[in-house]
Amino acid sequence: AQSVTQLDSQVPVFEEAPVELRCNYSSSVSVYLFWYVQYPNQGLQLLLKYLSGSTLVKGINGFEAEFNKSQTSFHLRKPSVHISDTAEYFCAVSELRETSGSRLTFGEGTQLTVNP
């Protein structure tokens, strides 16, 4: 079975500083990887995804992530954060199995708080 571990439950950072949110996954088969963002009392919005090809993927709002197969990681980065980036961030994995559709397994989330 697949699993996702987000290594930091909370990440406080000052505005305009760089940030990295860490994600490790476990799976016995090939996977697709995703980062979603959730603002309070809202649903999840896709930030970026890795399906194949280049291991460095760029997403919305200036975020990027790098897939590292040997370390089974998919860390999210942004070189300079804004107050508006304050939100909960979820890493998710989808296994390459037709029987599960595009079912996602999520990590427990990382609360990013950007302080002025």
Closer residue to another protein (CB): 73 or 94 = 94
The CA distance from 50 to 68, in Å, is 11
Stretch in the footprint of another protein (CB under 8 A) among 11-19, 22-30, 34-42, 63-71: 34-42
Question: Measuring CA to CA, how many Å separate 86 from each of 12, 15, 29, 36, 83?
Answer: 9, 10, 33, 13, 6
Is residue 35 a contact point for another protein (CB under 8 A)? no
* Local structure of residue 116 (DSSP, 8 states): -
Query: Which one among 28, 41, 54, 70 touches another protein, defined by CB under 8 A?
Result: 41
Is residue 106 a contact point for another protein (CB under 8 A)? yes
Is residue 103 a contact point for another protein (CB under 8 A)? yes
Closer residue to another protein (CB): 102 or 116 = 102
Nearest 5°: the CA angle 87, 104, 7 is: 50
Q: Could you tell me how far CA 53 lies from the centroid of its own chain?
A: 18
Query: Which one among 11, 78, 85, 105 touches another protein, defined by CB under 8 A?
Result: 105
Closer residue to another protein (CB): 72 or 111 = 111
